[in-house]
Structure 1
Amino acid sequence: MSPGASSNGSGKGGGRTRGLFTPARLTVAALGVLGLVFIFENTSHTKIRLLIPEVTMPLWTALLATGLIGALCGAYFMRRRQ
């Protein structure tokens, strides 16, 4: 049997689907869904002060923007690690 051959006969794509649903990915997906539910349940308008200006906007917009900024920062630092 050659080193590139698979013993289960499924070819090269067999290992790719096995790692698709790892516990870490499922946890991140569940937290993401819970975060989105939390964001879209808070739809009332609120006053937000950003250093000096005070704006009135829907709370879900501020929460979503904060979440996206946090995700971008996390992705940036994870990319720098590699």
Structure 2
Amino acid sequence: MSPKTPDASATSGAKSRAGLMTPGRTTVMALVLLAMVFVFENTRSTKIRLLIPEVTTPLWMALLGTGAIGALCGAYSTRRRP
């Protein structure tokens, strides 16, 4: 006799939902939320000097841009390579 095998359609939905909220993803989402609160709490204008020009921009925009550049660099460096 063959062992009972679960129906693939019944288990695939449970596995996909359980895999969405792993501890690592939950931690990353909490850190992203805290970073966004930090960024949007700092709304004053600030002067930023980038090589030669000096611009005045809201601090949240500078923090958000720096975070986005850091995220892109991190994603690029951890990408799987063939």
**TM-score scaled to structure 2, two decimals?**
0.83
Q: Say what the alpha-carbon RMSD is for the aligned residues.
A: 2.5
Residue aligning to 2:34: 34
* Structure 2: gaps of 5 or more residues: none
Residue aligning to 1:45: 45
* Code of the aligned partner of 2:65: A
Do residues 25 (structure 1) and 25 (structure 2) align?
Answer: yes
Residue aligning to 1:76: 76
Residue aligning to 2:66: 66
- Residue identity (%): 59
Q: What is the CA deviation profile of residues 24-80 of structure 1, one whole-angstrom value per residue up to 9, with x for unaligned ones? A: 101000000000000000000000111221111100000000010011111111214
Runs of 4+ displaced beyond 2 Å: 9-14
The whole-number CA distance in structure 1 between the counterparts of 2:78 and 2:22 is: 19
Q: 1:17 to 1:56 in 2, by over 3 A?
A: same
**Structure 1 counterpart SS, 2:43:** coil
* Structure 1: gaps of 5 or more residues: none
**Structure 2 counterpart SS, 1:11:** helix
